[in-house]
Structure 1
């Protein structure tokens, strides 16, 4: 694996592509926005002019786009990945999409001679920048082994979790846990502030006990600062929670906390806050309690 194509150079895709460059790979990137491809070129990658141009010499193709229809759009059709990548190329979909779509597209990829892995990531923008993402991978075990060097350039915790679609199922569970944790942390900080507690000190001690979590570490200060610049937008978490609730319904599984938080996130997106970081749920917790 020497030549890598990255399709989708957004908040997550661009730093992942840059880390691949820094790891010694030859990286071609394509994005609908020229500004993003220019940034990759400045970091030592190649700005491709189309998907076909990006994937023509690739040993592995990484797609990192927002939703299931976006993945379908970039891999399908005469201009897509499947029609233009060489047979035997690894396709690593790092997007977060529906598990059933991931399984169907894996079949389409195999029919085109492409080796599919669904490999959604967790860790947010900072995790992508630092190259320490958690990556949950579904697909053939041999293909997973072949992708090891590529995945290691962008992640730290990299686990094969089963056949095609399994990575997306685990990512849905991840997003359920994260959303519920963000809401719980939001309510806890509102509670602490109502009593005039030193919130910096409170979060420090809470982080050292059983209440400690990555969510507290990464989102607590953002809430205290009322800084909701996006690392992972509420609109995308809304999409992911839609995947969770739909998949849970299909499996006959009850997710009452997840369903409740999904409604809160949907309400924020509907009122125009979808561009905020998902820690922006704190705004709603404040408003519900009549605080600012």
Structure 2
């Protein structure tokens, strides 16, 4: 499809979805409608972009031929694609392309693909291994799953959103790869938090320690993005602890399905679940350091 052929509807305009919408409009892709369960959020973005804030999912789809969904979890995805609901994306699926960008369980991605195709539409998963800044700049890392011809149909749009675009395979496989990406990233984040937490308890200079980490086998992408934030307790949210817990949980469930014991992934999952339980789920994933710095961990236990 050429750029002018797309008429875009976007479901879920939180941090990621809203910045994807801004990026696409900036490149003159016609964003015709937006929808969010938080209606005022959708209305504010619609006013900014000069498009419609649809009060219903059916209303969002009607003027669009391509729908991007950026929802938070499996439960939200099931709601927007509910087969028996009077307000479901499936009601207007015929002839339309649906691109699902959230990190979801692979089984649900496959289920949604089947439901959309049964209604005469096309479906693609485009899992994002990036954060808010990349969404706004159009430099996402996108991993796609579905039919190859559908991927080619969506390619111009996906190129506008990404710096790295990769076709993984059939429906569900991109979701599997994304779960593993986030499983490893979250484990790296938790390990870094423990290293800096122990360094702090030993009285080491953490700026020096981060520099040494960066020059040795302790180096990682997470050190670059989260190390300074952990040191200075700057946990402005780019990827929330709640999402980290969800995604590590998806990976652990996949491991259980194939009979693998993953103790590091399981321990990481439990750390993020604990962070959510003490009310820090909306902080950035770097806030896992609040559990590993001695004085902060005491504060967290006091607040439990």
- Aligned equivalent of 1:253: 260
| C-alpha distance 247-47 of structure 1, shift in aligned 2 (>3 A) | same
- Aligned equivalent of 2:86: 78
- Aligned equivalent of 1:220: 227
- CA distance in 2 between counterparts of 1:144 and 1:208 reads 40
Aligned match for 1:31, one of 30, 36, 51: 36
Unaligned runs of 5+ in 1: none
Q: Deviations over 1:49-84 (max 9, x none)?
A: 321222113221111111112111112223111112
Report the alpha carbon displacement of residue 222 of structure 1 after superposing the two structures with TM: 1.3
Q: Would you say 1:136 and 2:143 are equivalent positions? A: yes
Contact 1:21 1:45 in 2 (8 A): no
Contact 2:290 2:296 in 1 (8 A): no
Contact 2:190 2:268 in 1 (8 A): yes
Matches within 5 A, 1:167-182: 167-182=174-189
Output the aligned Cα RMSD. 2.0
Query: In structure 1, the residue corresponding to 2:283 is in which secondary structure?
Result: coil
- Aligned equivalent of 2:60: 54
Aligned match for 2:21, one of 17, 22, 25: 17
Matches within 5 A, 1:186-225: 186-225=193-232
Report the alpha carbon displacement of residue 129 of structure 1 after superposing the two structures with TM: 2.3
- CA distance in 2 between counterparts of 1:289 and 1:50 reads 44
- CA distance in 1 between counterparts of 2:134 and 2:215 reads 21
Report the alpha carbon displacement of residue 126 of structure 1 after superposing the two structures with TM: 2.1
Contact 1:193 1:199 in 2 (8 A): yes
- CA distance in 2 between counterparts of 1:122 and 1:136 reads 8
Q: How many residues align?
A: 291
Q: Would you say 1:100 and 2:107 are equivalent positions? A: yes
Query: In structure 2, the residue corresponding to 1:272 is in which secondary structure?
Result: coil
Contact 2:39 2:55 in 1 (8 A): no
Q: Would you say 1:165 and 2:166 are equivalent positions? A: no
| C-alpha distance 16-289 of structure 1, shift in aligned 2 (>3 A) | closer
| C-alpha distance 131-201 of structure 1, shift in aligned 2 (>3 A) | farther
- CA distance in 1 between counterparts of 2:51 and 2:212 reads 43
- CA distance in 2 between counterparts of 1:213 and 1:152 reads 27
Q: Deviations over 1:164-202 (max 9, x none)?
A: 001110111011011101011111212333344443344
- CA distance in 2 between counterparts of 1:155 and 1:214 reads 19
- CA distance in 1 between counterparts of 2:102 and 2:70 reads 5
Report the alpha carbon displacement of residue 210 of structure 1 after superposing the two structures with TM: 4.3
| C-alpha distance 48-187 of structure 1, shift in aligned 2 (>3 A) | same
Structure 2 length normalisation: TM-score?
0.89
- Aligned equivalent of 1:276: 283
| C-alpha distance 39-156 of structure 1, shift in aligned 2 (>3 A) | same
- Aligned equivalent of 1:111: 118
Q: Deviations over 1:218-243 (max 9, x none)?
A: 11121122022222221222122221
- CA distance in 2 between counterparts of 1:159 and 1:248 reads 24
Query: In structure 1, the residue corresponding to 2:68 is in which secondary structure?
Result: strand
- CA distance in 2 between counterparts of 1:46 and 1:262 reads 39
- CA distance in 2 between counterparts of 1:131 and 1:250 reads 35
